[in-house]
Chain A
Amino acid sequence: MTFENTMVGQAAPPAHLAVRGIQKRFGGVHALRGVDFEVARGEVMALVGDNGAGKSTLMKVLAGAHLADDGEFLLDGKPVEMSTPNDATELGIQIVYQDLALCENLDVSANLSLGAEPVKPGWSFLPHLLRPLDDLEMEVKAKKAIDKLEVRTLQSVRAKVGGLSGGQRQAIAIARAVGTESSVVMLDEPTAALGVAQTRQVLEVVKRLRETNHAVVYISHNMRDIFEVSDRITVLRHGSNVATYTTSDTNPDEIVVAMTRGLDTENGNAA
């Protein structure tokens, strides 16, 4: 496995987060066999592959949820340590899981600050857990985060998440990931369960992330979405890289073939 991605366009931007030669075994299953992956700031990198290709495993390794057996992590070219989810958070890497992990019984602002609630100053004699929450500060933060992503359909940050549409929830989960000073946002199948209008809303949010100079990793099966939002596409198959394409230089058929059969160039059998 070389460090060069053979099919990257000349305009490939310098990587913000890059991993090299990632190996991951689960017992006898060799899930990742020396995968290279990179994403730059202001870029949407799609990560595609058939079921079992190792997309989710790679994402969990990037998020620190799984510890890689081998391989190196580079952030802006410098090697970094990645062994726990906290490491990932400190490096500014955030992940939005498919199940979103929102609390439906809480309102939007509470969900956006979950786990990092602001407290009012001046109660330092109390342990942090028992200091009064600053709800208003929370709402201000939430409004900022929502406005930044331009989620226009959301009426109020005081609405309970349980009453929101799927697209709004996805947007809120993304806003939470972005709100914590993150530079890399990974989205796992963000539109899988959504209708047309909702999908549109989420894709707009993803584009906003690119404009705000985030590095976005977009995992999906949906070729239309991928070709709409992504700048580059990394294809995995059987736990290895197939290739990385520049979206404007390729087409869905080529990607599907790469996902299902690999490159097959050696056999001259280019489907």
Chain B
Amino acid sequence: MQPEAKMTFLDRFSAMRETQFGAFVPVLLALAAIWGYFGLVLPLIDLMSGEADSFRAIFLSPRNIYNLFMQSAVIATLAVGITIVLLLGDIDLSAAATAGVCAALLGVLVLSGVPGWLACIIVIFVGIVMGAAQGLLIAYVGIPSFVVTLAGLLGYQGLMQKILPTGNLNVGDPFVRGIARVLIPDLWGIVLGLAVVGMFAYANLRKQSRRKTLGLEQDSPLALWSQVIAFAAIVVAVVFTLNAYRSLPLLLVLLVAITALLGWITTSTPYGRSLFAVGGNPESARRVGMKVKRLRVSAFAIVGFMAAIGGIFGASRYGSVSYTAFAGGSLLLEAIGAAVIGGTSLFGGRGSVWNAILGALVIGSLGNGLDLTGASAADKLMVSGAILLLAVAIDALSRPGNGSGR
């Protein structure tokens, strides 16, 4: 009976993942495991073995959490963008290189005296054009996205080196730096958090009452309220933790706002529905009259947009633009890894931008935690690889009707 019991566990797991918030559970568990390990288990081991004379939760200190969020922000921005094309069943390998070109261009523009806000707008526009150009090749010429964006990766890396012959440029523009430096005052942060929680609760309750009047099946009140309470707990915990160190940084607010917008577009508009439809069954989407080609181009334009935002965030946070931080480094693979760890399928039709943010936190926490324990770069790479495999394995096992290895 052993294997059968195991099957029912898996079945339950996949049934849970089909629910609205169930998709978050695996990545949240991964995050909790990593935080638990670095934040509680390691300090305890140190304490027992006498290496430390008191319990020091460095990893879970507000200061480290703050840094962790800021470190993960650029990865998260790119991962959110990449999620959009993953939903279609495409991939974008050029996102990090696009971000690099945009950041380099931003640095050169502000150096030559263009005001920061104008430079940001120009750069965002350039990012959208770079993404859309690849999308045009994919949709209308019919080249697989892997090949087009691989070419884009190489080409944009070269372009970034052309823009930045020295490979490095400091960005001192107050507007650009301000994105990462400006902090929302503590009180306003709390008000903002509570407002978001209130809106979430209101939207959920309103939907429930409309369901009742329309005579539709209703969510169980337990599930409804536990969703609202879990959401509220996470928001309040994040705001108070960040307030305990500095304050809510503007960069994170912007990131969450953009993600919320994209999350809303992907789940609640005809446009987003068509993204999922094309990812699930392109032929079916075509037959019901969806403009699949235009959709592809627009999705790649969104990646370009998010890459440009990522470039701006990166330039703002580091105060400089360097080749290795964007195009030449591990940013691309970390961003794709974040999207996949979050539970977005590489084969299209399944995933969410919020999961990409959580996936980015997993990747960021891993790097941060291993740094704190003094692990070598080699260890970090190997552990990251193992986590990525584990995430994809969980995903494959818990998929309903799996077995085809997709």
Contacts and interface: CB of A to CB of B under 8 A. Distances in A.
Contacts of B285: 103, 114-115
A78 interface: no
Interface string B355-397: 0000000000000000000000000000000000000000000
A188 interface: no
B273 A117 contact: yes
A163 interface: yes
A66 interface: no
A163 B18 contact: yes
A109 B202 CA distance: 24
Contacts of B265: 130
Interface of B: 18, 207, 210-211, 214, 216-217, 264-265, 268-271, 273-274, 276-277, 279-281, 283-285, 287-290, 349-350, 400-401
A117 B280 contact: no
Given A103-B281, A105-B279, A115-B288, A130 B273 contact: no
A117 B279 contact: no
A53 to B, nearest CB: 24
Which of A103, A162, A163 has most chain B Cβ within 10 Å?
A103
Interface residues of A, number: 32
Interface in A138-167: 139-140, 143, 156, 158, 160, 162-163
Contacts of B290: 115
A102 B349 CA distance: 12
Contact of A136 (B210, B276, B277, B279): B210
Contact of B280 (A105, A129, A156): A105
Contact of A140 (B216, B273, B280): B216
Nearest to B281: A103
A129 B273 CA distance: 9
A106 interface: yes
Contact of B273 (A85, A99, A133, A163): A133
A130 B271 contact: yes
A116 interface: yes
Interface of B is mostly: helix
B90 to A, nearest CB: 15
B283 A101 contact: yes
Nearest to A130: B269
B216 A133 contact: no
B280 A104 contact: yes
A179 to B, nearest CB: 12
Nearest to A159: B18
Contact of A102 (B207, B217, B284, B400): B284
B18 A139 contact: no
Contact of A101 (B271, B276, B287): B287
Contacts of B274: 115, 129
Given A103-B281, A114-B277, A132-B269, 17 more contacts: A103-B276, A103-B284, A104-B349, A105-B280, A106-B277, A106-B349, A115-B290, A116-B288, A129-B269, A130-B265, A130-B269, A131-B269, A132-B268, A133-B268, A136-B216, A160-B18, A160-B400
Contact of B270 (A104, A128, A140): A128
A101 B268 contact: no
Of all A-B residue pairs in the complex, the 9 with the closest CB atoms, nearest first, are A115-B288, A103-B280, A101-B284, A105-B349, A105-B280, A129-B271, A103-B281, A117-B270, A114-B288
A114 B264 CA distance: 18
29 contacts: A97-B287, A99-B283, A101-B288, A103-B277, A103-B280, A103-B281, A103-B284, A105-B276, A105-B279, A105-B280, A106-B273, A110-B273, A110-B276, A114-B284, A114-B288, A115-B277, A115-B289, A119-B269, A129-B269, A129-B271, A129-B274, A130-B269, A133-B268, A133-B270, A156-B217, A158-B217, A160-B18, A162-B400, A162-B401
A105 B350 contact: yes
B400 A129 contact: no
A163 B289 CA distance: 25
Contacts of B350: 105
Contacts of A99: 283
Contact of A139 (B216, B281, B287): B216
A191 B399 CA distance: 27
Contacts of B270: 117, 119, 128-131, 133
Nearest to B284: A101
Contacts of A97: 287
A180 to B, nearest CB: 10
B349 A103 contact: yes
A130 B264 CA distance: 10
A133 B271 CA distance: 10
Nearest to A142: B216
A106 B276 contact: yes
Nearest to A155: B217
Contacts of A102: 281, 284
A135 B216 CA distance: 11
Contacts of B217: 156, 158
Contact of B214 (A114, A128, A136, A160): A136
A130 B284 CA distance: 21
Contacts of A133: 268-270, 273
B274 to A, nearest CB: 8
A215 B93 CA distance: 50
